Amino acid sequence: MKEVFALDIGTRAVIGLIMQKTEQGFNIIASSRTEHNQRAMYDGQVHDVDEVARAVLKVKQELEAKTGIKLKKVAVAAAGRAICTQTASARREEVFPIIWEKADVVSLEMEAVQNALRKIGGEVDKGLLHCVGYSTTKQQLEDLAITSLIGQTGKKAEITVIATFLPRSVVNGLIAVLRRIDLEMETLTLEPIAAGQAAIPSDMRRLNLALVDIGAGTADIALTKEGSFFAYGMVPMAGDEVTETLCSHYLLEFREAEKIKKSLAIENKIEISNFFGEKLLLSTDEILEVIKPTVNTIAERLSQEILLLNGGTKPQAVILVGGGSLTPLLRETVAEKMEIPPSRVGIQVRERLASMLGEEEVLSGSDVITPIGIGMTALNNQGLHYYAVSVNGLNIPLFDLQPATVADTLLAAGIQPRSIVARPGAALVYELNGEMKILKGELGKPAEISVNGFPTDLDTITKAGDKISFVPGQAGTDAQARIKDVYTVSCQQIIFNGKEEQIRPLILLDGQEVDEDEWLKDGCKLIIKEKNSLFAFLKAEGYSLAELNKR
Q: How confident is the model at residue 1 (pLDDT cuts 50, 70, 90)?
A: low
Choice between 494 and 172, residue whose per-residue pLDDT is larger:
172
- The predicted model gives 70-92 an average pLDDT of 83
Which among 347, 121, 79, 332 has a CA at the least distance from the CA of 216? 79
Q: How confident is the model at residue 127 (pLDDT cuts 50, 70, 90)?
A: low
Q: How confident is the model at residue 125 (pLDDT cuts 50, 70, 90)?
A: very low
- The predicted model gives 396-419 an average pLDDT of 77
Q: pLDDT tens digit string along 473-504?
A: 888 889 999 988 988 877 766 776 667 767 77
Determine the Cα–Cα distance for residues 225 and 219; give it in Å rounded to an integer: 20
Choice between 207 and 351, residue whose per-residue pLDDT is larger:
207
Q: Is the pLDDT of residue 93 over 80?
A: yes
pLDDT at 258: 87
Q: Is the pLDDT of residue 229 over 70?
A: yes
Q: How confident is the model at residue 13 (pLDDT cuts 50, 70, 90)?
A: confident
Using DSSP, state whether 209 is helix, strand or coil: strand
Average pLDDT of the chain, as a whole number: 84
Q: How confident is the model at residue 541 (pLDDT cuts 50, 70, 90)?
A: low
Determine the Cα–Cα distance for residues 314 and 253; give it in Å rounded to an integer: 39
Q: What is the DSSP string of 417-480?
A: GGGTS-PPPPPEEEEETTEEEEEPPPPPBPPEEEETTEE--TTPBP-TT-EEEEE--BPPPPP-
- The pTM is what? 0.66
Q: How confident is the model at residue 407 (pLDDT cuts 50, 70, 90)?
A: confident
Q: Find the range with the poorest average confidence among 297-311, 329-343, 413-427.
A: 413-427
Choice between 326 and 38, residue whose per-residue pLDDT is larger:
326
pLDDT at 174: 85
pLDDT at 80: 62
Q: Is the pLDDT of residue 408 over 70?
A: yes
Q: How far is CA 221 from CA 164, 210, 474, in A?
A: 17, 7, 47
Q: Which is it for strands 26-35 and 356-357: parallel, antiparallel or unpaired?
A: parallel
Q: pLDDT tens digit string along 441-468?
A: 888 888 899 999 999 888 888 888 899 9
Cβ atoms of 81 and 234 within 8 Å: the answer is: yes
Q: pLDDT tens digit string along 244-275?
A: 999 999 999 888 898 899 888 888 898 888 88
Determine the Cα–Cα distance for residues 298 and 244; give it in Å rounded to an integer: 13
Q: Which is it for strands 41-42 and 384-391: parallel, antiparallel or unpaired?
A: unpaired
H helix intervals, 310-394: 330-338, 369-379
Q: Find the range with the poorest average confidence among 30-34, 39-43, 184-188, 316-320.
A: 39-43
H helix intervals, 200-329: 239-250, 254-263, 284-309
pLDDT at 537: 61
Cβ atoms of 468 and 462 within 8 Å: the answer is: yes
Determine the Cα–Cα distance for residues 62 and 14; give it in Å rounded to an integer: 12
Q: How far is CA 247 from CA 38, 71, 231, 253, 325, in A?
A: 17, 40, 35, 6, 20
pLDDT at 287: 92
- The predicted model gives 203-217 an average pLDDT of 88
Give the whole-number percent of the chain exceeding pLDDT 90. Answer: 30
Q: How confident is the model at residue 196 (pLDDT cuts 50, 70, 90)?
A: confident
Q: Is the pLDDT of residue 535 over 70?
A: no
Q: How confident is the model at residue 531 (pLDDT cuts 50, 70, 90)?
A: low
pLDDT at 60: 95
Using DSSP, state whether 372 is helix, strand or coil: helix
Determine the Cα–Cα distance for residues 233 and 85; give it in Å rounded to an integer: 11
pLDDT at 124: 43
Determine the Cα–Cα distance for residues 303 and 210; give it in Å rounded to an integer: 10
